[in-house]
Structure 1
Amino acid sequence: MIVLLLFIGALTYVFLYYQHVRKYPRGPLPLPLIGNLYHINPEGMHEYLHMIGKEYGHCFTLFMPRPVVFFTEFSLIKEALVTQGEHFAGRSHLPPEEFLQKVDQTGITVCDGEVWREQRRAAVRILREHGMGKNIMEAKINLSIDELLKQLKETNDGVTPFDMYMPIQLCVGNIINETLFGYHFKYSNTAKFEFLTNCLRQHLKCLKDNVWVLVLQAWPWTKHLPIIGRKGYHDPIKNISNYHNFIEEEVNKIAEIYNVNQEPTNFVQSYVRDMKKNPQLDMVNLYAIVVDFWFAGMETTSTALRWCLLYLMKYPHVQDKVRAELLSVVGSSQDRRLEMADRPNLPYFAAVIAEIQRASNMVGFLGFHRCTSDTIVGSNLIPANTLTLPQVFSVLKEDRIFERPTEFMPERFLEADGKTPNKNELDRLIIFGMGKRQCAGEALARMQLFLVLGTLLRHYRFSPCDPIDLTPVFSTILGPKPYKCIASSVV
């Protein structure tokens, strides 16, 4: 009798499970309890999603084991995030997103609702106050570039294979640090900086291939179980806490001595000043916003620059053409800096940056966008509170969007005259997201890529030491494999 009851109970569970599955857009067959985990290879996740997206009309569900709806086509992503952006502005409040912040619903990256709107408005306003997109920010970037050039001049002989990883990390980190805290790290004293960057790298490594995090997404209570809780929850929390502690110490040091009657010179001071006028701003959210900006601004921009150097070594004729264009516009004089005002006169350089961003395809997803109410996208019903993941990776590889996507063709971003930007192609390069949750630091990131890479190419020719391997290292951000190069002076 007990066996019969167990059998009937199991059949009932399976029946109800597949009734639940039918609520979501069609995808590969999930199994009870484990969903689609039985056939997913994390190492090839982006390619796998790109492949099955074509089979299921670019909108499909994977049960991981929590149901997640993927969009892998430009028009569907635009419909969800722009046309119906109000319905897709939610966040998951689940692992791994919740690991980033100590307190849920703080900052701007992983929170939503009115908290997110107010914190984002305040953060963007303060960034503009400190020059985002203006000459003030350009001057701050140039300070970091000067430190980078000094480091290369004093530590690189132009003959010995040289690792650009830490110089690039430090340059980008200094730009963020100067904006947030108002000071620079010197390349000769980077222990504190390296500790911080190692915290970030360890966090990303801790989440890589971590199936226990997916289990926690589906059943949050499993964090109390011995193995799942330790590997999927407590280890990531322990690692990221070092990062949180560093940020809080830096913020507190500035806040404690800042006089609100003084003109602020960095982001933290401006936020502290505004706390006196806006009760929705507080120290907890300030910690969280700084955590967001350091994490997002550091890793993505530094990885993009390392991809840029690798592609320019892979295609040396492109590197030479960019350098020739730079020298024709800016010249080789040490008294003349590359400026953002030069950008309209450097169309090929701008096109090369865009094509490297497309080809490297390093930001696979735009983060979880929780659907906050029942919504139709295309012909698909997305139930309320469903997690969705728009996949940029597929858009940038789609031949209906970018002709011959496997080929490296900077010219695709220029019109036939070779000078006018191809707006149609550029509009589909959605690496910074779309809609209401588009990257708040996009303008700063674009300035950094243009000024740092352009200055490096004016001063150095980069040549490979080994055969170029463009295969990415799988992680939250797809980065290049470690490499060294020869950086020989051209001035």
Structure 2
Amino acid sequence: MDLVLLEKALLGLFAAIVVAIAVSKLRGKRFRLPPGPLPVPVFGNWLQVGDDLNHRNLSALARRFGDILLLRMGQRNLVVVSSPAVARDVLHTQGVEFGSRTRNVVFDIFTGKGQDMVFTVYGEHWRKMRRIMTVPFFTNKVVQQYRTGWEDEAARVVADVKADPKAATEGIVLRRRLQLMMYNNMYRIMFDRRFESEEDPLFLRLKALNGERSRLAQSFEYNYGDFIPLLRPFLRGYLKICKEVKERRLQLFKDYFLEERKKLASTKPVDNAGLKCAIDHILDAEKKGEINEDNVLYIVENINVAAIETTLWSIEWGIAELVNHPDVQQKLRNELDTVLGPGVAVTEPDTQKLPYLQAVIKETLRLRMAIPLLVPHMNLHDAKLGGFDIPAESKILVNAWWLANNPDHWKKPEEFRPERFLEEEAKVEANGNDFRYLPFGVGRRSCPGIILALPILGITIGRLVQNFELLPPPGQKKLDTSEKGGQFSLHILKHSTIVAKPRMI
């Protein structure tokens, strides 16, 4: 009896495969789909390519199947774009058609099903949220209002590292102190607040919850339930944890930051708009009925995730590359000493007259792109791309890392060589003026945080190189720069211990 059942099951599976192939062929006649590995029923290409859809694995698939390829991940279509020309179509020429965001079961939880700005679909809600966030966060006025605060935070980092006896001998994990700096940079803008030390209880709670949110959202562990809805019941435990973390984070934002700012505004109104912090502007929009309380909370959630950690990753990558390339570090130090003078601390306006510093930042963002696949795009309706038909609601991944590291377009891209941005690539900027180089994306859904990230990177890296000789720890010739990727992130696998020897200036 068992053999009969097994035989029937195998026959049923065979029939399903035949039907799936037949449907695929018929669909191929009707739609000209991008090339890709042959999918199997139910699982698609998931069993072939696995969960880890990182920038390097997708680059290998692009070399095999071409600049635009299709992966069928369970019931989801995933289109990978790997050439400047097709990236231009997705991000610029057809920016409206491909301007929406895909979500998944976990991001639906953390963004309230798209009540934020970053992960919402393209439309009126996104336009409203982008407009409301631009004035308090993403303008030159904001940079000028807060640059002295960023310079102050960088100076505090320098002072703390100099005061740590281990820093100049056995080394310290510099990232920990830089993380506090980045939280203070952004919380000064958001709430006119800062944390006094790494041991501040509120900072520790906030950092822990944000870290757990990032781990849960960036993990590949939940893909099986996202790709194949039939398996979603097995995600109940995982999704329950996500909901608990989400509720605790939003409650923390509300109790310790939003409510305190509201109380302060009610007792001590801010008359001068120039002195308002970002959340004052956001709360004004809520009072006017433009957004609701949930939207306010999800704006805070976006800034905690999209602004703090990504910039921190880039700073960490930049420092690691300077440690591993002492000639580059010395060349940068010479520029700082020559242009500004020994002992003259770099400020935000100075960064524009330091071309080698700018080149170091550009090269860091090229080789070690914090969001190597950008934030995924989606087409709400059937669309055309690169001569192929793209089914509605496909997830579009632009492999920005490969665009910036393809040897067909870059000279020796595997080398960390800032000079390229002073020589053959001198006209290339981080703002997307060249579709081979898109660290912040480009077009309607580009990252507006570029206006904050670049000066913070310049100030921080500049101050550290001015004040310290940055070295690997005793017994090591170089730092380990193995990569750790998530759903769309790229950071160092092991946070590096760095020796920071104070310079005699």
Distance 2:182 2:213 in 1: 19
Quick check: 1:230 aligned with 2:240?
Answer: no
2:146 aligned partner: 137
What whole-Å deviation, never above 9, does each CA across 1:393-430 have from its counterpart, x for those lacking one? 211211222211112221111137x9x65559973320
What whole-Å deviation, never above 9, does each CA across 1:103-152 have from its counterpart, x for those lacking one? 2231211112211110111100222579333x212112123223322322
2:253 aligned partner: 247
1:27 aligned partner: 36
RMSD: 2.7
Distance 2:72 2:138 in 1: 41
What whole-Å deviation, never above 9, does each CA across 1:31-66 have from its counterpart, x for those lacking one? 111111112244573222101112222111112211
Picking from 483, 489, 497, the partner of 1:472 is: 483
Distance 1:17 1:354 in 2: 44
Q: In structure 2, do the counterparts of structure 1 residues 261 and 451 end up closer, same or farther at CA, with 3 Å as the change threshold?
A: closer
Matched-pair contact (CA < 8 Å) for 1:95–1:214: no
Q: Which moved more, 1:301-310 or 1:366-375?
A: 366-375
Distance 1:156 1:457 in 2: 18
Letter in 2 for 1:350: Q
| 1:171 counterpart SS class | helix
Picking from 479, 483, 488, the partner of 2:496 is: 483
Matched-pair contact (CA < 8 Å) for 2:118–2:302: yes
Letter in 2 for 1:470: T
Pairwise mapping of residues 200-219 of structure 1 onto structure 2 (< 5 A)?
Answer: 200-219=210-229
Distance 2:397 2:428 in 1: 28
2:308 aligned partner: 298
Query: What's the offset of the Cα at 1:311?
Result: 0.3
| 1:85 counterpart SS class | coil
Picking from 320, 323, 348, the partner of 2:330 is: 320
**TM-score, normalised on structure 2?**
0.88
Q: Which moved more, 1:307-316 or 1:369-378?
A: 369-378
| 2:182 counterpart SS class | helix
| 2:413 counterpart SS class | coil
What whole-Å deviation, never above 9, does each CA across 1:208-247 have from its counterpart, x for those lacking one? 553433422442x754x2x33223x223333343322222
Matched-pair contact (CA < 8 Å) for 1:255–1:268: no
Picking from 194, 203, 222, the partner of 2:204 is: 194
Letter in 1 for 2:353: N
What whole-Å deviation, never above 9, does each CA across 1:182-208 have from its counterpart, x for those lacking one? 111112643322322222322333345
Aligned residues with identical type, % of pairs? 21
Q: In structure 2, do the counterparts of structure 1 residues 430 and 162 end up closer, same or farther at CA, with 3 Å as the change threshold?
A: same
Quick check: 1:358 aligned with 2:335?
Answer: no
What whole-Å deviation, never above 9, does each CA across 1:322-341 have from its counterpart, x for those lacking one? 011011112233xx431232
Query: What's the offset of the Cα at 1:6?
Result: 5.0
Letter in 1 for 2:90: A
Distance 1:357 1:81 in 2: 19
Quick check: 1:337 aligned with 2:342?
Answer: no
Quick check: 1:174 aligned with 2:184?
Answer: yes
Q: In structure 2, do the counterparts of structure 1 residues 88 and 324 end up closer, same or farther at CA, with 3 Å as the change threshold?
A: same
Distance 1:332 1:70 in 2: 48
Letter in 2 for 1:212: Y
Pairwise mapping of residues 291-440 of structure 1 onto structure 2 (< 5 A)?
Answer: 291-333=301-343, 336-415=344-423, 421-422=427-428, 427=434, 428-440=436-448
Picking from 441, 452, 466, the partner of 1:458 is: 466
Distance 2:85 2:206 in 1: 39
Distance 2:389 2:183 in 1: 43
Letter in 1 for 2:499: I
Distance 1:217 1:115 in 2: 27
Q: In structure 2, do the counterparts of structure 1 residues 313 and 434 end up closer, same or farther at CA, with 3 Å as the change threshold?
A: same
| 1:262 counterpart SS class | coil
Distance 2:323 2:109 in 1: 37
Q: Which moved more, 1:91-100 or 1:281-290?
A: 91-100
Matched-pair contact (CA < 8 Å) for 1:325–1:348: yes
Q: Which moved more, 1:39-48 or 1:458-467?
A: 39-48
Matched-pair contact (CA < 8 Å) for 1:130–1:179: no
Letter in 2 for 1:293: I
Letter in 1 for 2:489: I
Quick check: 1:270 aligned with 2:290?
Answer: no
Q: Which runs of 5+ in 2 are unaligned?
A: none
Q: In structure 2, do the counterparts of structure 1 residues 276 and 204 end up closer, same or farther at CA, with 3 Å as the change threshold?
A: closer
Matched-pair contact (CA < 8 Å) for 1:17–1:32: no
